[in-house]
Amino acid sequence: MSTPVLELTEVTKRYGDFTAVNKINISIPQGSVYGFLGPNGAGKTTTIRMILDILRPDAGQVQVLGASSAMKVRDRIGYLPEEKGLYKKMKVWAIIAYFGTLKGLSRRQAKEKACSLLETYGLSDFANSSVESLSKGMGQKVQVLSSIVHDPELVILDEPFSGLDPVNQEVLEQLIRDLAGNGQTVIFSTHVMQHAERLCERLLLITQGSKVFDGTVDEARAIIPRRIVLETRDDISPIRSLNGVLSVQEHQVDDETRLPGTRQWELYVKEQTDPQLILQHCFESGVSLSRFDFTQATLHDVFVHLVGQEAREHNFR
């Protein structure tokens, strides 16, 4: 197996008596898209700043691209900070190119790459505009492009979706997919589950500075069993005893539109259980259904389950 692009071992950060990040361990393979998720104040930005050696951990080790400090490999890393802002008077193409030259590109390479990025991500009409004339969202897109102009092996984006409208969020999702398709490793932090669900191979969920989950999206979904709701007037014993059915609960049906005697059942089934087989079994054993719904847990369900009340209070979507 190849060396991980990033490895955190027991990384901890304290501010006085308060532990902002508590013994985080992660290992991120090359070429993956990895999401840092967690409610406000969970410790995502602090973790990212420790990865970049902007902040020193109080305990634990960080290994980035084989180095003990991101500063030693800075030209191979691209970073979009949480606090965004660009030099306002510069032209859009020039600022992107400028960041490229800071990371080792020649002026010519940097200009060519800046113009090609602006073209690819729908900003070529703004190439000669000054940064101050851009909307906040456009400015943010320009800053994202500035962070990747030098084709970094590792791209770290702190809250890249915040402040973007849905169309530009899609453009950014595509950009992240393009980077991954190119073999670049992308880490991004977000509160919004849907971005993580669509983009990430793996996720880290932290809350109150501690890791509560690290794994694939499928592994996260498997934490909550799949749920089937069915309604019938028949005896469901043949379904109850099926292999793969974990538990069955009966619910009250008050609706007058249902036929008298209709009962509602909620079945929790194993991750590997195909709901079609349950449906087929109902049919074969003469259980006549007036409703059959199958729902798979979303990442949001899983994380509310793991983070609990805190997720609701902090508007964790």
Residues near ligand ATP (CB under 6 A): 15, 20, 38, 40-46, 82
Shortest Å, Cβ 224 to ligand ATP: 23
d(CA 293, CA 267): 10
d(CA 212, CA 204): 8
Cα 11 to Cα 14, 66, 80, 185, 211: the distances in Å are: 10, 17, 21, 21, 11
Shortest Å, Cβ 222 to ligand ATP: 25
> Of the two residues 83 and 284, which places its CB atom closer to ligand ATP in the complex?
83
> Of the two residues 120 and 162, which places its CB atom closer to ligand ATP in the complex?
162
Distance in Å from the first CA to the final CA of the chain: 35
Cα 217 to Cα 5, 223, 307: the distances in Å are: 20, 10, 16
Structure tokens at 268: 């929790």
Shortest Å, Cβ 140 to ligand ATP: 15
> Of the two residues 82 and 197, which places its CB atom closer to ligand ATP in the complex?
82
Structure tokens at 206: 């932290």
> Of the two residues 51 and 114, which places its CB atom closer to ligand ATP in the complex?
51
Buried b (16+ CB within 10 A) or exposed e, 141-162: bbbbbbbbbbebbbbbbbbbbe
Shortest Å, Cβ 45 to ligand ATP: 3
> Of the two residues 190 and 264, which places its CB atom closer to ligand ATP in the complex?
190
Shortest Å, Cβ 24 to ligand ATP: 11
